[in-house]
Amino acid sequence: MKIAFYGTKPYDRIWFEPMGKEYGFDIHFIEAACDQETVFLAKGHDAICIFVNDYVDAGMIDALYEMNVKAILLRCAGYNNVDVKAAEDKITVLRVPSYSPEAVAEFSMAMLLSVARLTHKAYNRTRDFNMSLNGLMGMDLHEKTAGVIGTGKIGQAMIRILNGFQMEVVCYDPYPVEGLEAEYVSLEELFKSSDVISLHCPLNQETRHIVNDKSIASMKRGVYLVNTSRGGLIDTEALIRGMLDGRFGGVGLDVYEEEEGVFYEDRSGDIITDDNLARLMTFPNVLVTSHMGFFTRDAMQAIAQTTLENAYALENGLPLANQVGKEMTY
């Protein structure tokens, strides 16, 4: 199988290159992202491999189909960046539904601790030998109420961590899971009662801008918000209005709804034209990271393994457990 591997970074090759050889795949590593201008590079390949900031719309699906591309291999869990409906009966879409839920959950907790205890600010201060504590007062998490939106594998891992901090955990998901040490409540009740809110749901039509002006207005003043899932879950302009109104004690964002072309790139020498992102960076109680919650050695190895197993299954006519829309497990 020949695979066009879009959006290649050096750390991708570390895992995919040797594993690809073991499977006998011919992987063509392409640094450019997959978009309307680069889709032609897939010609002559059996599959393309894409990541979160690549996209494949209906027109690109048609182009890939005409080039006899058989599969879109997502090396991530989310698939909101692929027009899955357009791909039906044309191209098989395969994803990595689970790689290391703990990696993302642990990073979510790290972000929460950072914004709740301002360790990121303290780090920058003490490097200049500013040892003052002024402006660094934080909040205890012990016995506070944590709200988890989305109780898939990452959400479940986050709930276990939050329970370790002896927090009262409430959660919301339209598909409840039995046996969790958390109380399912309505979304409205979660927004209203939580001191901390962590987002772990997929991005789809129902969840886009689940955090908006209305939901922010219903939250406790001083609430802490963490998003390590998908940027589109938060209406950024509504978030900025809430920040200006003093609604949030702190916000941790590992994702951003307009992150394409910025996240995963070195833009330190550029003028950032995204006013909303630039504005978020000015708030002292906002921590932004570049969609790195998944980024551990364990997770990268699991992502490469599952992605290539998906390709192997397709090539050899085996059951496609991770086919989008037809997964055996969600």
pLDDT of residue 49: 98
| Amino acid (one-letter) located at 170 | V
Percent of the chain with pLDDT over 70: 98
pLDDT reading at 327 higher than 80: no
Query: How far apart, in whole angstroms, are the C-alpha atoms of residue 302 and residue 183?
Result: 31
pLDDT tens digits for range 150-200? 999 999 999 999 999 999 999 999 999 999 999 999 999 999 999 999 999
Angle in degrees, 0-180, between the axes of helices 236-244 and 275-282, rounded to the nearest 10: 30
- Structural domains of the chain sorted by starting position, each given as residue range(s) with its CATH number in brackets: 2-99+296-315 (3.40.50.720), 101-288 (3.40.50.720)
Query: What SS3 class is residue 246?
Result: coil
Q: Is residue 329 pLDDT above 50, yes or no?
A: no
- Per-residue pLDDT at 98: 85
Residue 22: CB atoms within 10 Å: 8
Residues 254 and 246: beta-carbon distance below 8 Å: no
Cα(80)–Cα(116) distance, rounded to whole angstroms? 31
Instruction: Report the C-alpha gap between 4 and 28 in whole angstroms.
Output: 5
Residue whose structure tokens are 């494949």: 56
Per-residue pLDDT for 312 more than 90? Answer: yes
pLDDT for residue 325 is more than 50:
yes
CA atoms within 13 A on the CB side of 66: 9
The pLDDT tens digits of the residues spanning 98-154 come to 888 999 999 999 999 999 999 999 999 999 999 999 999 999 999 999 999 999 999
Q: Please list, residue by residue across 292-324, b when 16 or more beta carbons sit within 10 angstroms of its beta carbon and e when fewer do.
A: ebbbbeebbebbbebbbbbbebbbeeeebebbb
CA distances from 106 to 21, 67, 110 (A): 32, 41, 6
Contact, 50 vs 69, CB < 8 A? no
* Active site positions, annotated: 230, 259, 291
Residue 305, pLDDT > 50, answer yes
